[in-house]
Structure 1
C-alpha cells in the first residue's frame, strides 16, 4: 500500500459509535447507559445536573485530630522495659515534663485526671499504653518529644488509625470502567491512586482538539491548533491558540470528537459525583489539535510534537507549560524508517525529557508497517479486551512495548464491558455547547489503550518526584512498564505478541518510587541460553556473566529469531554503543565476540536492536 502523507486517526473501529449519539440523546439525562442494539455510544447526565467538578487528592492515611494510644519501645536492659509498673512511671514522668499530666480542663468545664494504662506487649518488643483522655496534636507531639529524649527509648509513636487505602471515586459511571478496576484485565488504577494521582504533570494530547466538558474543564491547560490547511481544519482559520474541536465530520460520517474521549481517559475530573474517572485525574491535559477533516498532515504533527515538548516552532509562541508526556492516538501506513520528519520530532522531544506514548493501530497487522508505532524512542501500546486477551483488531509485533485496555467488540461478556468509557458530545457534526452537549461515550481501539498508558506514565512521574527521585527517562519508563506488566489471561497467538502483558498502574507507580539500579543487567549462566528476546529499533537489553579464573576463552553470542541486532561487550563496566571493548554488528542476529584467556570477573553484554527483533537468544560459553 502506498505510504500516505496524511496521518489518519486510529482511534475507533466503528463509525456507528458516533452515529448512535442521536439515539442516546433522549435517554442520556437519566444517567444510566440505555440499552441499544449494535454499538453502544453514549451515556450519562447533562453536566449541569451534577455538582461542579472539584480537584480531590485522596489521602492514603486519615489525619487524626487526637490520640490516646501510644507505642513505646525501650532498649534492652532499660528499667522501664522490665515491668509494667516501671513503664507506666516512665511514661507518667515524660507526660509531666511535657505539661500534659495531672488535671486537664474538659470541654464541659470539668477536670479529669490523666491516667496511663498498660495495654500489652507487642510482638516487636514494644509496649502499647492508653491514656485516660485524648491528646490533641500539640500535646501528643510534646509527650512524644519527651519520650524520645530519653536515651533508653528506642522509639515512640502514636498508635495510628489506618484506613483502607483503595480509593473509590464517586463518579456515577466509574462502575462501568472495568478497564481501571479489574485486577486481572484492567490497569489496577485504584491501588496506584493511593500513591499518586498525577499532580504536577502535563500530558499533551495530540489529536482532534478538545471540547468544553464539565468533567474535563478544570484539568485543561492552554494548547494550540497546529492545522494549517483550512480544508482540514474545518474551523475557518489556520494555526492559532484555540485548540477546540469544531468537528471532523465528512459527508455522512459524523464527528468523532476523538480528542476529548482520549483526554478524558488521561485526566477526566474525578470524585466529583459526575460521569467518569480519569487515570491521572490530578494531572493536566494540554490539547494540541493536529487532526481534522480527513486526518492530519505529518508536517503539522511534527511541529506539534516539538512544541508540546518545549521546543520552538516558527510563527508559534513557545509553550508556557511543556508536557512531560505526549499521547498520540493516531497513525498511518508506512514504516517510521520512511518518516524521518516524525522520527526527528520524536527524538527532539525525548531529548527534552518528554515521554512519547503512541497507539499501535487497529489493522490487526504488524506494527512495523505503521508510523509512529514503529518509531524509535516511543512507547507503542497495543489493545486488550475485557477477557484479558489481545484485542482482535490491535496491531502487534516487537514494536509493541506494552498493552492496555482498548475494548473488544467480540467479547462474549455483557456488552457494557466491551467498551472504554470516556467523554463525548451529543453533536453529530458541530459540537453542542457544554453543558447541554456533554455526554459519555463508549469506544474501542488502540486509541483508547494509549491514553491509559500515558496516564500511568503521568502517575509514575508524579510518584517519582514526590518520593524525592529524579524524573524518569523514556528508557526507564519503558523498562518499568514491561517489567511490571500483568501477564496475559489468554496469551496472544504465535507471531502476534503485544509486549509482556497489560499495564499494571499500581506496580509501575510503586517501582517509580524506588531507586533505579545502577546495574540492571540480567545475569546469565555458562552455557544456559536466554531465549525470547524482543524489542523495537534502538531498544537495548543488558546482560552480565561472571567468568571464573583460569578459563581459556569466552564466547558471547546472539542468534536465532527475526530482525537485526548488534552486540556490544565490556569488562567490569556497562557498555554503550559509544563506549565498549568489543562489538559484533553484522546483518541479522548471528553476532559473536570471542575473548581469548579472559580475565576473571564480570563481562557485560548489550544487545541493541538495529531493527525490530523477536525470539532472539543470547548465550555465554566459557
Structure 2
C-alpha cells in the first residue's frame, strides 16, 4: 500500500494540479525561570521571516514560550527526511534513521537524500515540516519554530512523495524506541484506505501507533488534503491525533479533510490558503537551495497543506511534554484548550475537531 506525501507548494496549487501524490498534507524561582524561558520569544524577531509566520500568532506560540519552550523533548519527523546541513536544523538534530526499502533495520541517518544519495521531487517536505515544529529560534536565520528548544529526530520513510505502511511503521517504532516523545506524521493514504485498517487487511502502521501510544508517545497525524469527510489513515487510527488545516483568517482551508474520526480525537492548526499569495501559506525551511522560483528564498519556501498544520500541533505537544506531563494529559489538554474562531472551548465540530490548537492556553492548563 502506498502512502502519499501530504503537502502542496503554493505555485503548484495555483496551477490547480490537485493529485493526491502532489498534495500530502491530504496525504518545540518563577520570576527567574520565566525570564530565562522568555529569551526565545524575545529573540524570535531577529529571524528574518518571523513576521511572515502568521501561524505562530494564530496558535499563540510566543505567549506560551514564557512557560515552556520544549526543552528536553524530541519530536520525530517521520517523513521524507531532513536536510542535516540546514542552518535552522543543525543545532536541533538528534540521530535519525532511514527506512526506505530497508526492511525493519535502518539503512541511513534520516537525511533527505535517501539511500541513493540523490534528491527526488517532493523530498523537501520533511525539512519544511521539521522547521515548523522546532526550527532554531532567535538565531538571526530564517524562521522560528513552535517549540524553540525541542530537538528533531529525522526519520526518512518516504521517497519521491510516497512510501509503504511497512516503512512508516518501522519509522514509528524506531522513534518510540529511541527517545522521541512526539511523532509527527505529515502523511496519509487515499480516502477509503481506512477500510484496510478497519478490516485488518493492513495492520503494520496501526500496530506501530498502538506500540508508540503504549510507550507514552504522542502521534500527531495529518487529516489529509482531499476535502474528504474523514481523517485519512494513519490519522484515523486509535492512538493518533488528527489535524485539519486553517488559513490565516482561521477559516477551514478549502483542501483540508474534516476532523472526523471514530474517537473524535481531532483538532485544527494553521495550514495555509493554498491559493495565490505566498504569505497566505506557511513559511518554513527547505533543503539548501531548493526554494521555488515563485515563493522561495533559497533555503526557505511557502507551502500549504494539512502537512503544515500537523507540526504546529506537534510543537505544542512538545511544549506540554517539557512540563513533565503524561501522554493522556497532553492529548486531553490539546483538545480541551483548543478554541473555535469564536473563542469557544470544549466544543467539537466536524470542521475544526475540538478547535484550533492554542499553545498559551495549553501550557497554562492543569497537569493532573
TM-score by length of 2: 0.81
Q: Secondary structure at the match of 2:238?
A: coil
**Inter-CA distance 14–284: structure 2 relative to 1 (3 Å threshold):** same
Q: In structure 1, what is the Cα distance between the partners aligned to 2:259 and 2:301?
A: 29
Q: Structure 1 or 2: larger helix share? A: 2
Aligned residue in 1 for 2:42: 167
Q: In structure 2, what is the Cα distance between the partners aligned to 1:440 and 1:18?
A: 19
Superposed, which structure 2 residues align to 1:141-152 within 5 Å?
none
* Runs of at least 5 residues in structure 1 that lack an aligned partner in the other structure: 20-57, 64-162, 231-237, 311-318, 430-436, 466-470, 517-622
Given the alignment of the two structures, is residue 406 of structure 1 paired with residue 271 of structure 2, yes or no? Answer: yes
Aligned residue in 1 for 2:356: 502
Aligned residue in 1 for 2:220: 357
Q: In structure 2, what is the Cα distance between the partners aligned to 1:284 and 1:166?
A: 17
**8 Å CA contact retained: 1:260, 1:424:** yes
TM-superposed CA distance for 1:14, in Å, is 5.1
Q: Secondary structure at the match of 1:442?
A: strand
**8 Å CA contact retained: 1:363, 1:395:** yes
Aligned residue in 1 for 2:92: 219
Aligned residue in 2 for 1:422: 284
Q: In structure 1, what is the Cα distance between the partners aligned to 2:40 and 2:130?
A: 26
Aligned residue in 2 for 1:602: none
**8 Å CA contact retained: 2:121, 2:160:** no
Aligned residue in 2 for 1:450: 310
Output one character per residue of 1:387-436: Cα deviation in whole Å (capped at 9) or x when no partner. Answer: 1111111111422610000001358xxx354111100135569xxxxxxx
Structure ID, larger Rg:
1
Number of positions where the alignment pairs a residue of Structure 1 with one of Structure 2: 329
Q: Aligned to 1:267, which of 134, 141, 159?
A: 134
TM-superposed CA distance for 1:273, in Å, is 1.1
TM-superposed CA distance for 1:476, in Å, is 2.3
Q: Secondary structure at the match of 1:61?
A: helix
TM-superposed CA distance for 1:174, in Å, is 0.5
**Inter-CA distance 202–62: structure 2 relative to 1 (3 Å threshold):** closer
Q: In structure 2, what is the Cα distance between the partners aligned to 1:270 and 1:500?
A: 29
Q: In structure 2, what is the Cα distance between the partners aligned to 1:293 and 1:375?
A: 25
Given the alignment of the two structures, is residue 390 of structure 1 paired with residue 255 of structure 2, yes or no? Answer: no
**8 Å CA contact retained: 1:254, 1:428:** no
Q: Secondary structure at the match of 2:141?
A: coil
**8 Å CA contact retained: 2:40, 2:148:** no
* Runs of at least 5 residues in structure 2 that lack an aligned partner in the other structure: 16-31, 292-296
Aligned residue in 1 for 2:5: 9
**Inter-CA distance 426–228: structure 2 relative to 1 (3 Å threshold):** same
**Inter-CA distance 270–418: structure 2 relative to 1 (3 Å threshold):** same
Q: Structure 1 or 2: larger strand share? A: 1
Q: In structure 2, what is the Cα distance between the partners aligned to 1:417 and 1:14?
A: 10
CA RMSD of aligned residues (A): 3.2
Q: Secondary structure at the match of 1:299?
A: helix
